[in-house]
Amino acid sequence: MRTVTRRVGVAVGLVSALLLSACSGGDEGGDQAITVWTGDTLPDRVAATQAIIDRFTAQTGVRVELVGVDDDQFNQVLTRPRPRASCRT
């Protein structure tokens, strides 16, 4: 069950990455980058997720920083204030 939850978390993170890249404004130029947090901290799982991210970056040009967070720290990391990304409508 825990593996399924982690995979769903990674999938949600990558979908979020796609949505954020769609909101980037495209015509501003410059580099685009996002951060994806994951509860996966085991080396083999991190490597598998990084392979997915590498394909995403190759296809979109959006750089992704993968950050592994221990389960007991995940809520603190996600609720910490962060600058907002702007989306043009």
Residues 12-30: what's their mean pLDDT?
Answer: 57
| pLDDT tens by residue, 32-89 | 899 988 888 899 999 999 999 999 999 999 999 999 888 888 788 778 776 665 554 4
pLDDT at position 38: 87
pLDDT at position 89: 42
pLDDT at position 83: 66
Entry pTM: 0.55
Beta-bridge partner residues of 33: 63
Q: 36 CB contacts (<8 Å, ≥6 apart)?
A: 10, 13, 14, 16, 17, 53, 64, 65, 66, 67
